[in-house]
């Protein structure tokens, strides 16, 4: 009897354990992700786990077909969901259902200085990515604006770590609400395109932690981003996608990142380094002809067969693979296998309106000395619109952020709709060549002829609206190469000077993602920086020029008078672009306005600058206390009054400075800001909070953020160069 009971118990145990084994926790959506990941991992073979770690096509990585775990589909990019790309090459797949909304480029988003705009943007682009069945959106980019020659600055959020950190977080949250992973890039120090695939960046710990990493850190710790893209370049001798310091120690160690590190396309170089230093998914490897259609192409990736061999031989422990597979499964469960996610939508009216709003909020009014703006069209019988950018498609080209759009409203179209098509005449004025990646094409037109025609038109018109700037051609605002010069291209300076000779009423509107020199500035009364505005660019520009929208954007980077005024260009070629092997960030922490302020160099237009059609008055800045301890927060308060006749918005900025420090500190640093909407005549109080620990510097000796006791001064300001009032506090 006793034996019978025991064997019965055994039977029950065996059956229930069989049952438990069968229960597919990983498929059960009600289970926590960590339990599902663990369950899935326990069912996988070594080979299946390895396969998760590398591409199966140009833009997808393997799933586990035997277990019904789907692959990951990825797509560029930061300001729109790129058209479909062929399985094995960079060619366009030419689908007819992948036309998207082009959102404004990220410099424009940064210029809104409004985190709510970032969320609107992130959510809308996330909906498009979701609709297009993408699991990972390859953006946003948060590399710091160090030099205006960097071809990819338009894809980033400007020169200041606090501004870019504040703007990147809501973007990520907006994207990820759709069950799509944002992929913040390019981690780290990919601040130029020249020699991007190998240049070895030497940077101090202080500049790394204070300037180049904060936006990535905010993306991870506050935005909870699910994936990060490694950069192409080297950092202190090691490739960024295989970098012990940045990936292993900082990203996964100090910041406790629980997502996936994905290579930039072709960013892996060595199996052991990649495996051991924190890379999770290898994409786009192009070495040794691996991108061909050969059956083994993808298995030959560094994290493919050769990784498998090192695991099998025990050279690399299986725990290394399990860690990667855990992260990748987590990413798959958060995205591809998340059946709670919404369906998304593509190129909708709502998305176009979101894009237009961001574009309108980001346009920066730089000069309006003669009061020409807003344009009262009744005043003018004839309006000349001049310049290639008035009609050029600026959503095409630029590299991986190229887009195929459902529509793109050109500035000319927007202005004709707004000011009256019958009064407007158009002349090209200047021309660039056709856009093609990695190649500069010459203009097919005679520059002098175009110029003469435009000057002739300008001389007969009551008002001239010049629309120029850079474009998405190679060596302009484009991936793969940097600009060759700080000057405007395509003989625009000559054209503008010639126009200024024949007409006093000129509105200059520049479209670019970078700063440029302005030899004609002192003769120009009216200047607008309008970035790349995406699908609705033309409507946004017309709304701002006509006054339907009052401009409120502020510059996210400094416009210098000349190239050598920038810190990165003040130390010879070793500081930019390097000697082709390495590059030293000699300006250290003094990037952007930190450099201009500290070295007392007057820029053309400072960081944080931007005008409005109304005027604002700042009140005194006060704090809730005079003395603070390290772990307290400073509560600040000041009033802003709209003293003009038009409703408008002002970005109130607060900078901090340490009076006496044991290390070099910039004259001042941005610590808080708020965009405040005010009706004509209205006064509001702005209340902001700064943590005392955010006044710290990165101490290279102790490897700790340090606040030294003593006096700090806080300024409210309309730009980094226009301080209004100040208040002093003590830190104990
Ligand atoms: C770019 C990335 C991009 C990737 C895929 C790379 O060349 O640097 O930003 O996401 O290609 O297109």
| pLDDT score, position 88 | 84
* Bridge-based pairing state of the strands 181-187 and 136-137: parallel
Triad 404, 476, 86: Cα angle to 5°: 35
The residue whose C-alpha atom lies closest to atom 2 belonging to ligand 1 is 264
41: left (phi over 0), alpha (psi -120 to 50) or beta: alpha
Q: What is the pLDDT of residues 534-565, one digit of tens each?
A: 999 999 999 999 999 999 999 999 999 999 99
CB 400 less than 6 A from any atom of ligand 1: yes
Active site annotation includes 264: yes
Specify the ligand 1 atom closest to the Cα of 82.
Answer: 12
What is the C-alpha to C-alpha distance for residues 480 and 466, in angstroms, rounded to an integer? Answer: 29
| Mean pLDDT across the chain | 96
Section 40-62 average pLDDT: 97
pLDDT of residue 481: 97
Dist CA 543 CA 415 (whole Å): 8
What ligand 1 atom has the least distance to the C-alpha of 196?
8
Q: Name which residue sits closest to atom 12 of ligand 1, judged by CA.
A: 400
Question: Is residue 1 predicted with pLDDT exceeding 90?
Answer: no
C-alpha 220 – ligand 1 centre gap (Å): 20
Strands 526-529 and 364-368: antiparallel
Residue 307 has pLDDT above 50, yes or no: yes
Q: How far is the CA of 131 from the centre of ligand 1 (A)?
A: 21
Cβ 155 under 6 angstroms from ligand 1: no
CA–CA dist 477, 29 (Å, integer): 44
Rounded to the nearest whole angstrom, what is the distance from the C-alpha of residue 399 to the centroid of ligand 1? 8
Ligand 1 centroid distance, CA of 229 (Å): 9
pLDDT tens digits, one per residue of 391-424: 999 999 999 999 999 999 999 999 999 999 999 9
Examine residue 140 and say whether the peptide bond preceding it is cis (omega within 30 degrees of 0).
yes
Q: Ligand 1 centroid to 686 CA: how many Å? A: 40
Predicted pLDDT of residue 3: 52
649 contacts: CB under 8 Å, gap ≥ 6: 361, 550, 552, 612, 675, 676, 677, 678
Asked whether residue 288 carries a pLDDT value surpassing 80, the answer given is: no
DSSP for 90-122, written as a single string? SSB---SS--BPPPPPHHHHHHHT-HHHHHHHH
- Cα-to-centroid distance, 540 and ligand 1 (Å): 29
- Looking at ligand 1, which atom is closest to the CA of residue 186? 9
Distance of CA 695 to the CA centre of its chain: 25
Nearest protein CA to atom 8 of ligand 1, as residue: 264
Mutate to test the pocket of ligand 1, among 399, 474, 478, 482 (most ligand atoms within 8 A of CB): 399
Q: Give yes or no for residue 265 CB within 6 A of ligand 1.
A: yes
Closest to 588 in 3D by CA, of 605, 602, 573, 570: 570
Is residue 185 within 6 Å of ligand 1 at its C-beta?
yes
Residue 401 alpha carbon to ligand 1 centre in Å = 8
Write the CB contacts of 478 (distance below 8 Å, at least 6 apart in sequence).
Answer: 151, 152, 397, 398, 399, 437, 472
Pocket test for ligand 1, best of 73, 138, 142, 401 (most atoms within 8 A of CB): 138
252 lines ligand 1 (CB under 6 A): no
Q: Which of 322, 327, 152 is nearest to 228 (CA)?
A: 327
- Quick check: CB of 82 below 6 Å from ligand 1? no
Q: Counting atoms of ligand 1 from 1, which one is nearest the CA of 185?
A: 9
**82 secondary structure, DSSP code:** P
Mutation pick for ligand 1 pocket among 76, 185, 198 (CB with most ligand atoms within 8 Å):
76
**Interstrand relation of 616-618 and 633-642 (parallel, antiparallel or unpaired):** antiparallel
CA 138 / ligand 1 centre spacing (Å): 8
Distance CA 560, CA 607 (A): 10
Q: Using one digit for the tens of pLDDT, what is the confidence trace for 432-451?
A: 999 999 999 999 999 999 99
Q: List, for residues 125-146, the tens digit of each pLDDT value.
A: 999 999 999 999 999 999 999 9
Are the C-beta atoms of residues 479 and 105 closer than 8 Å to each other? no
Ligand 1 binding pocket includes 138 (Cβ within 6 Å) = yes
> What integer is the mean pLDDT of 47-52?
98
What is the structure's pLDDT at 23?
Answer: 87
For residue 459, what is the DSSP state? H
Taking the CA of residue 85 as reference, the ligand 1 atom at the shortest distance is: 12
The model's pLDDT over 644-699, given as tens digits with 9 standing for 90+, comes to 999 999 999 999 999 999 999 999 999 999 999 999 999 999 999 999 999 999 99
Residue of 57, 479, 481, 482 with the most ligand 1 atoms within 8 Å of its CB, for mutation? 479
Q: Is the predicted pLDDT of residue 19 greater than 50, yes or no?
A: no
Question: What's the 189 CA to ligand 1 centre distance in angstroms?
Answer: 15
Tell whether ligand 1 has an atom less than 6 A from the beta carbon of residue 231: no
Which residue's CA is the closest to the ligand 1 atom numbered 3? 400
Residue with the smallest CA separation from ligand 1 atom 4 is: 265
Is there an atom of ligand 1 within 6 Å of 401 CB?
no
**Confidence at residue 89, expressed as pLDDT on a 0 to 100 scale:** 84
Confidence check: pLDDT of 291 > 70:
no
**Among 400, 401, 481, which is best to mutate for testing ligand 1, by the most ligand atoms less than 8 A from CB?**
400
Name the residue at shortest CA distance from atom 7 of ligand 1: 265
pLDDT of residue 13: 47
Ligand 1: distance of its center to the CA of 613 in Å? 40
Assess whether the C-beta atom of 193 lies below 6 angstroms from ligand 1: no
Burial string for 132-151 (b: 16+ CB within 10 Å, else e) reads bebbbbbbbbbbbbbbbbbb
Which atom of ligand 1 approaches the CA of 138 most closely?
Answer: 10
CA of 101 to the centre of ligand 1 (A): 19
Confidence of residue 294 (pLDDT cuts 50, 70, 90): low
Whole-angstrom distance, CA of residue 248 vs CA of residue 442: 46
Task: Please report the DSSP string for 26-80 in residue order.
Answer: GG-TTS-HHHHHHHHHHT--HHHHHHTTBEEETTEE--BGGGTBPPEEEE--TTS
> Mean of the pLDDT values across residues 519-524?
98
For the CA of 77, the closest atom of ligand 1 is 10
φ, ψ at 203 (rounded to 5°):
-145, 150
Q: Which residue from 226, 184, 176 is spatially nearest to 341, judged by alpha carbons?
A: 176
Q: How far apart are CA 607 and CA 159, in angstroms?
A: 8
Q: Is 76 touching ligand 1 by the criterion CB < 6 Å?
A: yes
Distance of alpha carbon 685 from alpha carbon 680, whole angstroms: 15
One DSSP character per residue, 270-327 reads -HHHHHHTT--BB----GGGTTSS-TTTTTTSTTTHHHHHHHHTTSS-HHHHHHHHHH
Nearest CA to ligand 1 atom 6: 265
> Which is the catalytic residue, given 98, 135, 200, 264?
264
CA of 267 to the centre of ligand 1 (A): 10
Please check whether residue 273 is in contact with residue 238, taking contact to mean a CB–CB distance below 8 angstroms.
yes
Distant-in-sequence, close-in-space partners of 526: CB < 8 Å, separation ≥ 6? 367, 368, 369, 370, 372, 373, 506, 507, 508
Instruction: List all residues 6 or more positions away from 622 whose beta carbon is below 8 Å from its beta carbon.
Output: 636, 637, 638, 727
Q: 400 alpha carbon to ligand 1 midpoint, in Å?
A: 5
pLDDT for 6 beyond 60: no
Per-residue pLDDT band at 292 (split at 50, 70, 90): low
Task: Look at ligand 1, atom 5, and give the residue with the nearest C-alpha.
Answer: 265
Structure tokens at 356: 């237009």
């Amino acid at each position: 009897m006793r034996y019978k009971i025991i064997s019965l118990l055994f039977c029950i145990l065996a059956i229930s354990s069989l049952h438990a084994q069968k229960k597919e926790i990983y498929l059960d959506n009600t289970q926590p992700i960590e339990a599902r990941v663990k369950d899935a991992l326990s069912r996988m073979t070594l080979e299946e786990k390895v396969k998760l770690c590398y591409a199966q096509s140009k833009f997808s990585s393997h799933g586990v077909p035997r277990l019904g775990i789907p692959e990951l589909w990825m797509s560029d990019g930061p300001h729109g969901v790129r058209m479909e790309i062929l399985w094995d090459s960079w060619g366009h797949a030419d689908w007819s259902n992948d036309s998207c909304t082009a959102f404004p480029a990220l410099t424009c988003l940064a210029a809104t200085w409004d985190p709510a705009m970032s969320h609107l943007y992130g959510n809308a682009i996330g909906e498009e990515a979701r609709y297009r069945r993408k699991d990972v959106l390859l953006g946003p980019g948060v590399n710091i604006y160090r030099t205006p020659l960097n071809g990819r600055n338009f894809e980033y959020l400007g020169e200041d770590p606090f501004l870019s950190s504040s703007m990147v977080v809501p973007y990520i949250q907006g994207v990820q609400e759709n069950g799509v992973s944002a992929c913040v890039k390019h981690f780290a120090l990919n601040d130029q395109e020249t020699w991007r695939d190998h240049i070895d960046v030497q940077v101090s710990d202080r500049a790394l932690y204070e300037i180049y990493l904060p936006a990535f850190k905010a993306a991870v710790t506050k935005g909870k981003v699910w994936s990060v893209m490694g950069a192409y370049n080297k950092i202190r001798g090691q490739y960024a996608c295989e970098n012990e310091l940045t990936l292993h120690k900082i990203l996964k160690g100090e910041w406790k990142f629980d997502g996936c590190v994905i290579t930039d396309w072709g960013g892996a170089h060595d199996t052991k380094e990649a495996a051991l230093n924190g890379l999770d998914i290898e994409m786009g490897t192009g070495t040794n002809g691996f991108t061909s259609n050969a059956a083994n192409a993808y298995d030959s990736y560094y994290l493919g067969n050769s990784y498998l061999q090192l695991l099998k031989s025990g050279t690399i422990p299986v725990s290394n693979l399990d860690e990667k597979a855990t992260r990748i499964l987590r990413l798959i469960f958060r995205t591809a296998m998340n059946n709670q996610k919404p369906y998304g939508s593509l190129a909708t009216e709502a998305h176009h309106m979101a894009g237009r709003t961001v574009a309108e909020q980001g346009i920066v009014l730089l000069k309006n000395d003669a009061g020409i703006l807003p344009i009262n069209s009744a005043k003018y019988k004839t309006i000349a619109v001049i310049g290639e950018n008035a009609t050029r498609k600026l959503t095409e080209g630029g590299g991986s952020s190229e887009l195929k759009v459902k529509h793109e409203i050109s500035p000319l179209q927007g202005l004709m709709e707004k000011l009256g098509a019958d009064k407007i005449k158009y002349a090209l004025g200047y021309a660039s060549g056709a856009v093609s990646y990695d190649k500069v094409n010459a203009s097919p037109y005679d520059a002098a002829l175009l110029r003469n025609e435009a000057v002739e038109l300008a001389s007969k018109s009551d008002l001239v609206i010049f629309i120029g700037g850079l474009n998405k051609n190679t060596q302009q605002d484009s991936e793969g190469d940097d600009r060759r010069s700080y000057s405007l291209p395509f003989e625009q300076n000559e054209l503008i000077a010639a126009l200024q000779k024949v007409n006093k009423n000129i509105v200059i509107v520049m479209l670019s993602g970078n700063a440029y020199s302005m030899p004609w500035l002192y003769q120009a009364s009216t200047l607008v920086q309008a970035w790349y505005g995406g699908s609705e660019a033309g409507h946004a520009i017309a709304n701002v020029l006509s006054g339907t929208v009052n401009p409120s954007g502020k510059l996210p980077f400094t416009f210098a008078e000349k190239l050598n005024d920038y810190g990165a260009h003040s130390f010879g070629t070793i500081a930019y672009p390097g000697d082709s092997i390495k590059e030293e960030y000699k300006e250290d922490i003094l990037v952007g306005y930190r450099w201009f302020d500290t070295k007392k160099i007057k820029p053309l237009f400072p960081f944080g600058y931007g005008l409005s059609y109304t005027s604002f008055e700042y009140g005194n800045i006060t704090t809730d206390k005079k003395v603070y301890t390290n772990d307290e927060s400073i509560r600040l308060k000041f009033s802003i009054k709209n003293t003009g006749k038009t409703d408008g918005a002002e970005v109130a900025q607060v900078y901090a400075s340490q009076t006496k420090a044991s290390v070099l500190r910039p004259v001042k640093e941005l610590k808080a800001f708020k965009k405040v909407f005010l009706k004509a005549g209205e006064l509001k109080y702005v209340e902001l909070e700064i943590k005392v620990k955010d006044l710290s510097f990165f101490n290279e000796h102790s490897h700790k953020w340090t606040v030294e006791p003593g006096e700090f001064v806080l300024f409210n300001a309309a730009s980094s160069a226009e301080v209004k009032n100040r208040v002093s506090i003590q830190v104990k």
